[in-house]
Structure 1
Amino acid sequence: MSNKTVLNLEGINNHIVNWLKTYAENSGVKGFVIGISGGIDSALTSTLCAQTGFPVLCVEMPIHQAQSHVNRANEHIDQLKKRFPNVFNDRIDLTPSFETFKNNVPTCENEKALHLTLANTRARLRMTALYYMAGIHGFLVAGTGNKVEDFGVGFYTKYGDGGVDVSPIADLMKSEVRELARFVGVPESILVAKPTDGLFGDDRSDEDQLGANYDELEWAMLEAEKGSKIENFEGRQAEVFAIFSRLNRINQHKMQPIPVCKIPKELKIR
Structure 2
Amino acid sequence: MPLQMHEDFIKQTKEKLRQDNRLLGLLAGGSMITGVMDEYSDLDLIVVYDAKYREEIMDCRIGIAKKLGSLLSAFTGEHVGEPRLIICLYGAPPLHVDLKFVTVQELEQRVEDPIILWERGAEISELIQRTSPNYPYPSPQWIEDRFWIWVHYGATKLGRGELFELIDHLTYMRNAALGPLFLIKNGELPTGVRRLEKHVSEGLENLKETVPNYSTESCYHALQMTIRLYQRLRQNLGNIEYKREAEQVSIAYLETVYSSLDK
Q: TM-score, normalised by structure 1?
A: 0.25
Select the structure that is richer in strand: 2
Greater relative contact order (Cα < 8 A, sep 6+): 1
